[in-house]
Amino acid sequence: MSKLLICDPVDASAIDEMRAAGIEVDVRDDISQEALSSIIGGYDGIVVRSRTKVGAALIDRATSLKVIIRGGVGLDTIDVAHAKSKGISVQNTPAANSNAVVELALGMMLTLARHVTRADAGMKAGKWEKKALEGTEIAGKTLGVVGYGRIGQMLGEKARLLGMTIVAYDPFVEHPDIVSLDALLAASDYISVHVPLNKETADLLDAAAFAKMKPGVILIQASRGGTVNETALYEALVSGKVAGAGLDVFTEEPPKSEAVLKLAALPQVVATPHIGAATAEALERVGGEIVTLAKAALA
């Protein structure tokens, strides 16, 4: 019987279905990297999400491993090339999380446009700050989507229904919405980032990029930490060049550096702990795709 290790939370019904298919499933969804390294050799497959990192050193200890399944979109937490060099298949569930991430991005845009978190904090503190909380409407504004894959295009479709004009940047996609990055930065009232982290996208939005943006732009970062330069973003927020930011991902997770904690603490920032895919519906969809992948590889 093939053995599968669940390293991060997976829907319980998916686990039951894999066991019913004859796979021996061990659930260790809070396992540390150190503990994982010590037991990985005993498993034919592992399931990870964004928390667990699968680097070359771990792969070298995985002497029986046939498949790594990433419950989610990105594979930047896995050394895919090294895994494939060892004959290990790397699979993911790219479609399952898309709607959840899109809804969070839209929610952040609306929250920042109407100062919802600041208004809520004031009410909880016994304050009535109505005059200081005049907001704006997203209808009639231009949304620039950086990265126009599955998530980016879904965001564009939904934002268009809310009355927004869409422009997008993606060197790998042909679409009528596509413009150059400089054109997007100059035109956008809102910018939402949806790219993987790699050598081409690291610090894609840096100080030079912020200088090209409209004054008062609002930035949403729900892709991968490291694609937006956090120091440059902090300076742009403090100067007023960027009016607000919604941040769900960070270069270091959880953030520990004083600079990033200062960024998250700014009143014009809405910060969340990488919850883009954390909905009951997305977890169920991810689980279903994991079952299909695990059965194909191990059952």
Same structural domain for residues 147 and 197? Answer: yes
Same structural domain for residues 46 and 125? Answer: no
pLDDT higher than threshold 80 for residue 172 = yes
The rounded mean pLDDT for the chain is 95
pLDDT higher than threshold 90 for residue 181 = yes
In the numeric block, the tokens 């498949």 are attached to 67
Q: What is the pLDDT of residue 95?
A: 85
- Using 50, 70 and 90 to split pLDDT, how confident is the model at 1? confident
Could you give the number of structural domains in the chain? 2
* Torsion angles phi and psi, residue 293, rounded to 5: -65, -45
Q: What is the pTM of this model?
A: 0.89
Q: What CATH number does residue 117 fall under? A: 3.40.50.720
Same structural domain for residues 203 and 263? Answer: yes
Same structural domain for residues 152 and 23? Answer: no
Same structural domain for residues 106 and 185? Answer: yes
* Residues identified as active-site: 224, 253, 274
Same structural domain for residues 160 and 61? Answer: no
Tens-digit pLDDT profile for residues 66-89: 999 999 877 888 999 999 999 999
Are 249 and 225 in contact by the 8 Å Cβ rule? The answer is yes
Q: What is the pLDDT of residue 75?
A: 84
pLDDT higher than threshold 90 for residue 183 = yes
Range of the domain at 287: 3-93+280-298
Same structural domain for residues 86 and 178? Answer: no
Same structural domain for residues 35 and 57? Answer: yes
Tens-digit pLDDT profile for residues 188-216: 999 999 999 999 999 999 999 999 999 99
Same structural domain for residues 193 and 48? Answer: no
Q: Say how far apart CA 15 and CA 32 lie, in whole Å.
A: 20
Are 15 and 25 in contact by the 8 Å Cβ rule? The answer is yes
Same structural domain for residues 221 and 244? Answer: yes
Same structural domain for residues 115 and 236? Answer: yes
Same structural domain for residues 59 and 141? Answer: no
